[in-house]
Structures are given as structure tokens and as C-alpha cells.
Amino acid sequence: MSAATWGWLVLLFPLLGSLLIGFSFRKIPPKVAGAVGIGAIFLAFLCGIGALIAVQGEPSESRHVASSLWEYASVGGFTIDLGIYVDPLSVFMVLVITGVSTLIHVYSYSYMQSDEGYHRFFSYLNFFVFSMLLLVLAGNFALLIVGWAFVGFASYALISYWYRRETATKAGMKAFVINVIGDIGLVLAAILIFRELGVVDYAAVFEKAPEVFSTNQWEVVAICLLLLVGAFAKSAQMPFHTWLADAMEGPTPVSALIHAATMVTAGVYLVARAHPLFELAPTAADLAAWVGVGTLLVAGTIAIVVTDLKRIIAFSTMSQIGYMFVAVGIGAYSAGMFHLMTHAFFKALLFMAAGSIISAMANRQNIDHMKGFGKAMPFTAVMLIIGALALSGFPGTSGWFSKDEIIDFASFRGGMYEVMAVGMLIGAFLTAIYSFRIIFRILPGKPCDEAQYLIDNGHVVHGEPGNPATGELEDTEVGYPGEEHHIAEQAPGMKIGMAVLGFLALVGGLLQIPGVDEVITKFLEPSFEDSIFVNSHPTVAEAWTGLGSGALISIVGIFTAWLLYVKKPGIPSRLEQRLQPVHSLLVNKWYFDEIIDFLIVNPVKAFGRFSNEIFERYVINGLTSGTVGVIRSAGGAVRDLQSGMLRGYAVLMLFGVVGLLLYFLIRSI
């Protein structure tokens, strides 16, 4: 089978799975639904491997295949095919997505066990995977937008999965609206591409672009900026990042899958995919990189102070995606993709472990209350540590290889990119601190009540059903795992999911050891062979120097964390008091929400109020009632004249006669 056929099959299975589960929710038992969900994704994964084999079987230069089912829409020469584009990059994405998804499905199978909406969950989840695959396989910009928006929709559905929690629905709305803003960016980009090039198919666009555009011509810059709007919105880069932390309202596997491993990396994929355009618009590419740097620093600083376990990891995600943006922005595409992959491993792992702890904490997420889980949940603790090590780039772990490759490339390009490299190093230091902040805060020490309960009873505390964000009590049908929720880390599904990911997070880096194998780079090369950076990259020696400094930073960071949170636990609170303004700036996430409210939301709301209370009432209705009033008062005047007085009538008549005659006399002159 050709790679394209495999590609279609990859799309088919998750969609089928989603529909099957969705339609039969009353008929099949939850376990079957879960199994169907897992199976569908796993089949997609297998087909992805099929595609991989098919692609690798081709000679290097013909490793991209486009395939179209039918003409989707075609107006005035603007033709959109229902087509896919299979090349190493998309196959790589397919594999990462389906692979990680399969594991998360397995994890969810156990984790969501006692939830009321089990079918719904798996149906959504499968639909999400389908959308994500559509996004990466789409053969043109228009279909990309479709996948892009479906992903947004799935994300919305899963964030507000516990739909009777108002915080969840609000978060869903926020995520969706910001995603739509991203969609609009893409729409305009696609339209602009069509206007300039007359096509929207990837292959044709990338072929034509260098012929039509000169470097940094404003059109191509505009296209890239619009693409970046979409990319930033989806990948939670500044200033479109505010939804991501709120998105943690969704179930933890959702956070793992969507808000760590897959969806948020779509922006990175997009830039990588559109690299021929970005290379024609270096300004835009640089902007992407700078925004990446900014985001990774801002998010890193926030992650140090927030206390909500899932939100720490969420900000960390933002930060790591910042790295990826830097990578694709400066031309280190395979490095970016490599980091994307390793990040998927260790971040999904972190979320899973966090989910495990949260379920043990009866859904409470504040790390201030967590203690001693090292003893209570040793397996989870190990996984958490592996994840944290990989995240902070501890030598040998996957994160070490991938992150430092990006930094190397930045220093290699020199100039202002050096500054980026320095920023990224600072970011790496922050990363090490906050990841081990988690470890040091919740694993060691005397177990807290919940942890102790787990140790004593072998199952988790059953707290009051409530909203973790507001503490509001809720009925038991929403978001509450239920009385029978005994899993913590014991369920096999969770263990399998975490174990495989833990393994991958540890050794995944070995795929791309500078000077040794560089599997990823070689595999992706056909996709990036037209890149101007294809033959310029750091030497092996430079790479290893970078890795060395990365290792140093990471270890120093971990040590600092140890100092702060274990050795001298008083320092953080003293710092907090000393640097009160800084702290509140960070705790409030640099006031981004407030600024956006002030700049956009409030004016729109005010406009809405104005329209409703002033404009509609006084202008629209006023115009109507004003006209009516004039007519009515004219009617009143007519009726007042109609006094019933005969002589009055005669006078008016005489008046009419005199008037008419006057007119005629004047005319006759």
C-alpha cells in the first residue's frame, strides 16, 4: 500500500472509533467503549508505522505523497481538495500523536473508570485524535484549517467535559474563542496565499513561493505573521496563552494528551510545515523565535510560583513549546521536532503522574497540601522523578538531548540568536528549579493526611464532591470520580501508560545523539531538504559542548531547587516577602488576563452594553418611535382640526380656496 493509503487509514480509524462509541453509548458497556477507543488509536498507530515503512521505502526525493479524495470546494479558481499530504514530517507527527495517544488512552481507560460520561470521554478523545491527525495530514491550507478548528473544538469539548462545572465551561469557552482567533489568522493567511499564489495546496504553494516572493516581501511576511497568529493561539504562546492554564479544568488525561503532548504542538508543526514561507520571511521567523524566548521565560517564572500542580505543569508546557518555537523560528526544524517528541513523552508522563497524585488527593491540586507521596505512591514517585529529570534536561535523559540541540543551533547562528541562546539557558535553569520544586515539595517528608490514608488503607480518600478550583460543592454526577474510585496508581492501565512513557522519556534521546545516530534529522531530511539551513548546522563538537553546558545548568538548577525547598525551606517565603511586587506579578501570571480584559474584553462588553442599552433603545427604536410619533402627532393635528364645528370646516375650505387662488395668481404673473 502506498503511503497515502496508509494516511487515509490513519484518519479513518479514530473517526470510526469516535462515531462508533458515540452512537452506541447506550448499547455497549464502558469497558468495551474504552477498548474500542484504545483499539482505534492503536490501529492508527500501526497504520502510521505502515506509512513510515511505505515512505522509507521510497527514494529520498519522492518521499512526499499527495492524495485527494474529491474536490471539496472550488470557487472562481480557488480549489480546495479533500486531500492529504504524506511526507516524513507528517508521518513523524502521526507517529508521535498516535503513539502518545495510545498510551494516554490506556491510562484513561483506568483513570476515568468510574466517571459517568465514559463513552462520551472516549468518543471525544478519539475525535480529538482524528482532528489532530487531520491537522497534520492535511494536504492544503484550507483542510489544515479544518483540522485546526476541529482540534480546537475537541479541546473545548474535553476542557468542559465536566460540563456542569461553571469553571470548566468558562475555561472551555476561553480556549475555544482564542482558538477561533487563531483560526481567523489562518483563514486570512490562506486567503492571502491564494491571492498571491493562486493555490493553497502545500506542494504547489511551496513550489511557487520562491518564484513569486522575494525575501521579506511584505506579502509573505504578512502571510507568515497570520500563520503565526494561528500557531501562537493553538500553542499558547504570548499573548494568546491565557487559555492554557485554565484548560487544566479538563480531566488530567486530557491535559496530558491535548495540553501537553499533541495539540499545543500544532503551532510548531505549522511553522515547520510552512518553513519555505518562513525562510522567505525571516522577519516573521525571527519574531516566532523571539516570542518563543519570551514565552519560555515568562512561563518559567510563573511556574516557579504557582501552587496548583497541574498549572505548574501547564506553564512548563508553555515554556517548552517556547523552545520549540525558537527551534523552528531559527531553522532548527529537526531539533524542534525532536524536542516536540521528547516533550510529548516526558510531559505526558508528568501529567499522568500528577493525575495519579491528584486522584489520591481527592481532586485537590494545591502542592502546598501535598507531602510524602514518595512513600505513599512509590511508582508514581519514580515516574514523576523521571519526568522531572527529562524536563530539566538532566544529562542522558531525552530532554537533555533535545533541548540543548536547540540552544546549540541558536548559538551556532550567532548574532542576536546568541541572545536567544542565553535566554534559553536561563529558561533551562528555571525549568530545573520548578520541576524539582514539584518533586521536593510533594514527594519527601511526612505524608500528608491523604497520603497517610493511602498508605494505611490501600485506597484513596473519598473527599466531598467539589470543584477543585472554587471549592464549591457539586452533585456527584459531575467530575467526581465516585465512591468506588480506588485506583490511584494501582490500576494496570495507568501503570502501563506511565511505565512506557517513563521509559521513552529516559531513553528517547538516544535516537538523536549528535555525531552518533541522528535518526530524527535523517528521517526528516526529505521534508526539510529545501531549507536553506539543511546543510548548515553545528558540528558534532559544538553540539557536545552545548550538551555539556546544558547538563551543567540542569544540575545547578536541581541543586538550587534542593537548596530552596529541602535544605532551607524558609528562603522561598522570605523571598516572597522581600520581593512582594515581583511575586504578585508572577502569581497573577504577569497580569496577562487582566490586560487582555482591559484591552479587548471590556471594550467589547462596553460596546455590547452601549448597543443594547443606548443604541438599540434610542437610535433604532427611537428612530422608529420617532417616525411613528411624528405621524401620530400629524394625525392628532388632523383630528384636532376635525372639531365637528361646521363653521370651522367652512373656514378651512375657504382657506383652501384662498390658498389655491393665491397659487394661481402668483403663477399668472
Partner 1 sequence: MTFDSPSIDYAALSPIIALTAGLVVLVLVAVFDSIKRFGSPIALLTLAVTAGCLIWQWDTNTDLVAGSLHFDGITVTLSLLCVVSAAVAVLLSIGDPAEKQTGRSDYLALLMGSVLGMVMLTQANNIITFFVALELLSIPLYALCATNLRKRDSLESGLKYLIIGSVGSATLLYGLALIYGTSGAMEFPQIAAGYLGDGTPDSINKLVGDPLTLVGIGMVTVGLAFKVSIAPFHQWTPDVYQGAPTPITAFMAVATKAAVFAIFIRFFLVALIGMVDGWDVMLAALAAFSMVVGNVGALAQTSLKRMLGYSGIAQAGYMLCGVIVATQDGISALVFYLAAYVAMNLAAFAVLVAHERRTGFSDDISSLRGLGRSKPLLAWPLTIAMLALAGLPPTAGFIGKLYLIEALVDADWTWLGVMIAIGTMISLVYYLRVVAAVWMSPEAEASPTDEIDTSGLPPAVAGGSAGDFTDGQAHRRWYLVLPAVIGAAATIFFGVVPQPLVEFAQQAGNALSAYIS
Partner 2 sequence: MDIEWYLVLSALLFTIGFTGVLIRRNPVVILLCLELMLSAGALAMLAFSRMLGDQDGQVMVLIVLVVAACEVVVGLGIVVAMFRRRLPLDVDDMKELKG
Partner 3 sequence: MTEVAFFVGAIGAIGGAIAVVAMRNPFYSVLALVVHLVFLAGIFLLLRAQFIAAAQIVVYAGAVMVIYVFVAAYVGGIEEPMFDSSPMLRIVGPILAVALFVEISIAVLGSSLTALGTDGSDKIQGGFGTPEAIGKLMLEDFLIAFEAASLLLLVAAVAAIILAGRKKAQKEAA
Residues that bind partner 1 (CB under 8 A): 631-632, 634-636, 638-639, 641-642, 644, 646, 648-650, 652-653, 655-657, 659-661, 663-665, 667-668
Report the distance separating Cα 230 and Cα 224, nearest Å.
10
From the list partner 1, partner 2, partner 3, none, pick the one residue 636 interacts with, judged by a Cβ distance below 5 to 8 Å according to partner type.
partner 1
CB of residue 633 to partner 3, shortest distance in Å: 21
End-to-end CA distance of the chain: 100
Cell numbers representing residue 283 in the block: 522577519
- φ, ψ of residue 138 in degrees (nearest 5): -50, 140
From the list partner 3, partner 2, partner 1, none, pick the one residue 541 interacts with, judged by a Cβ distance below 5 to 8 Å according to partner type.
none
Which CB atom, from 61 or from 640, has the smaller least distance to partner 3?
A: 640
Residues in Cβ contact with 403 at an 8 Å cutoff, skipping those fewer than 6 apart: 323, 339, 393, 424, 428, 550
From the list partner 1, partner 3, partner 2, none, pick the one residue 601 interacts with, judged by a Cβ distance below 5 to 8 Å according to partner type.
none
Closest CA to 182 of 132, 121, 231: 231
| Backbone dihedral region for residue 479 (phi beyond 0: left; psi -120 to 50: alpha; all else: beta) | left
Report the distance separating Cα 446 and Cα 371, nearest Å.
6
Site string for partner 3, 618-657 (x = CB under 8 A): ---------------------------x-xx-xx--xx-x
Which CB atom, from 416 or from 657, has the smaller least distance to partner 3?
A: 657
Residues in Cβ contact with 118 at an 8 Å cutoff, skipping those fewer than 6 apart: 30, 33, 34, 112
By CB under 8 A, how many residues form the interface with partner 2?
10
Positive or negative torsion for Cα 273, 507, 409, 327: positive
- 3-state class (DSSP) for residue 66: strand
CB of residue 73 to partner 1, shortest distance in Å: 38
Cell numbers representing residue 546 in the block: 552545548
* Amino acid letter, 176: F
From the list partner 3, partner 1, partner 2, none, pick the one residue 626 interacts with, judged by a Cβ distance below 5 to 8 Å according to partner type.
none
Residues of 332-344 as b/e, b for ≥16 C-beta within 10 angstroms? bbbbbbbbbbbbb
From the list partner 1, partner 2, partner 3, none, pick the one residue 600 interacts with, judged by a Cβ distance below 5 to 8 Å according to partner type.
none
Which CB atom, from 492 or from 636, has the smaller least distance to partner 1?
A: 636
Site string for partner 2, 120-139 (x = CB under 8 A): --------------------
Report the distance separating Cα 334 and Cα 583, nearest Å.
37
Residue from 53, 587, 630, 645 that binds partner 2 (CB under 8 A)?
645
Of 53-61, 265-273, 286-294, 640-648, the segment contacting partner 2 by CB under 8 A is 640-648
CB of residue 639 to partner 2, shortest distance in Å: 5
To which residue does cell 539557558 refer? 425
Residue from 507, 651, 660, 661 that binds partner 2 (CB under 8 A)?
651
Q: Do 13 and 43 touch, CB atoms closer than 8 A?
A: yes
From the list partner 2, partner 1, partner 3, none, pick the one residue 663 interacts with, judged by a Cβ distance below 5 to 8 Å according to partner type.
partner 1
Residue from 458, 507, 642, 656 that binds partner 2 (CB under 8 A)?
642
Residues that bind partner 3 (CB under 8 A): 645, 647-648, 650-651, 654-655, 657-658, 661-662, 665, 668
